[in-house]
Amino acid sequence: MSDSLCELKEQYASLLREYLAGGGEAVLLQAQALGHAAVAKGVGALQIAEIHHQALLTALKRMPVSPEITQMIKLFTDFFMENLSIFEMIERGYLEANARLTHLGKILDYNQRFVNDIVAAVPAGLLVFNRRTAELIITNKTFCEKFRVEAGEVTGKSLPDILDLIGLPAVAKTAILTSKGFFGLECWSNSQRVGKLLLKISMINGRLEQEAFLLMIEDITERWKLEQEMARLERLNLIGEMAAGIGHEIRNPMTTVRGFLQLLANKKEYSQDKEFFTLMLEELDRVNDIISEFLSLARNRAVELKAQNLNDIVKAIYPLIQADAMRADNYCDLELEDVPDLLLNEKEIRQLILNLARNGLEAMSHLSVGKLTIRTYRDENEVVLAVQDQGKGIEPHILERLGTPFLTTKENGTGIGLSVCYSIANRHKARIAVDTSSSGTTVFVRFNLAKNLEGT
């Protein structure tokens, strides 16, 4: 028997002895209260009946039986039996209430886990702050992973501390700290942990406005990059369409001018001006080359694709790149891994590789000896061409507009070469990414296998 039942048995036996000794109705009421308390503690009515029975047997053994004692025992037992049905009813009530509470607890636990799963799955950072203290009380997995923190590390921190952790500019911090609620504030952050991010921030009050408020932080950097890429492609397409429309019309009069210049250059009366004719012809040829590059920007330009290995094209053009490198006291390394075949236009891919390689060599013109590395490898569902130089890197204001036609930092550059690369990549269902720093730049051309093999 448990300690609580032993204690109950002793208390009940003591009350019975007190009653038999002349305790009166007050003792009966104490016994009734003891039974109620026992039921409340989870003791069943049958257990209480057993305790009553054992207490009677013990009492009868310890005292002589007389008519008065017998009558008192009968009264005590009758009183107990009247209360036993009450005890049973109370017990049933407690059991039903306990079962209902258990059921409600399971529902509450399920709902809590369900809400936690939803909060964890939300692709935006969720932060719940205490309204009175402005301290963080709940955060989710997305926020912790994005800003590389543990939930315990930030829980309890103030709103200003969290905004500092995120790396928001002063203007955005002031707007958030002085606002009572807003949606869709977009601003750039610069966190020491994760660098620059474009964030979309909303403050939501909801039904618990007096107790808490929610800060939702969404990283829209990739969406912004995609929008920038779409805008760049649209500009490229517009210029390409213009080029396709007027390029041939410009070439026709140029062909006529070039023909007459060649004819006049061979006449004796102009022999002393031969160097001028040569210069004019060279400039016309340069204009013609620019127009050829300009025409290659056209997005809808028809190209013939066939299954080829990227490594074979790199190896074929390598001697030309190595010769260019040696002329500038640089050298070129190849790091080619096994990659699957792609649908490629060899002429365009050669032009793409050559343009990227020459850009890399020109970026190292300040070095006594520079190394250009051309790599190919497979990265999950992509075949990657990477061209890496050891130059000074690309300035941020140039990097943002990279690929825009006529954008150049070269004294005699046309600003079309890299635009042509973007156009070629687009026609091959590939994308170009750039990683740059003060120690060099790597241009990645990523060919998506599934999209590339669909053809054009």
Residue 331 has which token pair?
A: 């050298």
Domain shared by 202 and 289, yes or no: no
Residue 414 pLDDT greater than 60, yes or no:
no
Domain shared by 129 and 263, yes or no: no
Q: Examine residue 382 and state whether it is found in any structural domain, yes or no.
A: yes
pLDDT, greater one: 76 or 204:
204
Question: Domain of 158: which CATH number?
Answer: 3.30.450.20
DSSP three-state, residue 180? coil
Q: Examine residue 62 and state whether it is found in any structural domain, yes or no.
A: yes
Q: How confident is the model at residue 202 (pLDDT cuts 50, 70, 90)?
A: confident
Domain shared by 286 and 152, yes or no: no
Q: Examine residue 110 and state whether it is found in any structural domain, yes or no.
A: yes
C-alpha to C-alpha distance for 298 and 317, rounded to whole angstroms: 24
Q: Examine residue 9 and state whether it is found in any structural domain, yes or no.
A: yes
Q: Examine residue 319 and state whether it is found in any structural domain, yes or no.
A: yes
DSSP three-state, residue 336? strand
Q: Examine residue 301 and state whether it is found in any structural domain, yes or no.
A: no
Domain shared by 444 and 324, yes or no: yes
Question: Domain of 266: which CATH number?
Answer: 1.10.287
H-helix or E-strand spanning residue 131: none
Q: Whole-model pTM? A: 0.49
HSE-CB for 365 with a 13 A CA cutoff: 6
Domain shared by 71 and 19, yes or no: yes
Q: Examine residue 300 and state whether it is found in any structural domain, yes or no.
A: no
Residue 251 pLDDT greater than 80, yes or no:
no
Last residue of a domain, one of 55, 88, 116: 116
C-alpha to C-alpha distance for 214 and 356, rounded to whole angstroms: 48
Q: What is the DSSP code (8-state) at residue 219?
A: E
Return the CA Rg of the chain: 44
Domain shared by 62 and 128, yes or no: no
Residue 92 has which token pair?
A: 């049933």
Counted residue by residue, the chain has a size of 456
Last residue of a domain, one of 64, 92, 116: 116
Predicted confidence (pLDDT) per residue in 223-240, tens digit: 888 888 787 777 767 766
Percent of the chain at pLDDT above 90?
17
C-alpha to C-alpha distance for 247 and 187, rounded to whole angstroms: 42
Predicted confidence (pLDDT) per residue in 372-382, tens digit: 999 999 998 99
Residues 350 and 316 sit within 8 Å (Cβ to Cβ): yes
DSSP three-state, residue 297? coil
Domain shared by 329 and 427, yes or no: yes
Last residue of a domain, one of 116, 148, 164: 116
Domain shared by 312 and 447, yes or no: yes
Tally of domains in the chain: 4
Domain shared by 207 and 314, yes or no: no
Q: Examine residue 206 and state whether it is found in any structural domain, yes or no.
A: yes
Domain shared by 246 and 126, yes or no: no
Range of the structural domain that residue 244 is part of: 225-295
pLDDT value at position 266? 86
Domain shared by 371 and 433, yes or no: yes
Q: How confident is the model at residue 361 (pLDDT cuts 50, 70, 90)?
A: very high
Domain shared by 407 and 289, yes or no: no
Q: How confident is the model at residue 452 (pLDDT cuts 50, 70, 90)?
A: confident
